Amino acid sequence: MKDQLFLLQPGFFNVGLGPLYCTESLPIEGMLSFFPQLRKLIDVHYLPFPRPRAELVRLLGEAHQNIPVLILTPARRLRAEAPEPNRIGTSRVFVDEQKIRGYLSVQYRLPQAG
């Protein structure tokens, strides 16, 4: 099983504005572009903008539908220098794009942001 990364599909509309992209997802998308091997190491899911986001509701509950979010596989052993994930129920998650990128850099031994 792999870690599960959820990003917003680009080109969404919000209150009549758009098409838009998620400014929080963009830096992570850039990292996926710089290091394409990540797409083989984690599962990347693109969800539509409107709520409810059924897949996240199923995994984390109604109150936790914000994106981006990275849900760690239960068996994931973190490297000692990895950032500490948040807990939502029994799941370990990263809900901040900088922490997601930091985790990916440390966990997969990639360069870190300068």
Give the residue extent of every domain in the chain.
4-11+18-107
Identify which of 11, 49, 8 has the alpha carbon closest to the alpha carbon of residue 28.
Answer: 8
Which pTM value belongs to this model?
0.95
pLDDT of the residue at 114: 83
pLDDT of the residue at 41: 97
pLDDT tens per residue across all 114 residues of the chain: 999 999 999 999 999 999 999 999 999 999 999 999 999 999 999 999 999 999 999 999 999 999 999 999 999 999 999 999 999 999 999 999 999 999 999 999 999 998
CA 12 – CA 26 distance, rounded (Å): 14
pLDDT of the residue at 31: 98
CA 65 – CA 22 distance, rounded (Å): 14
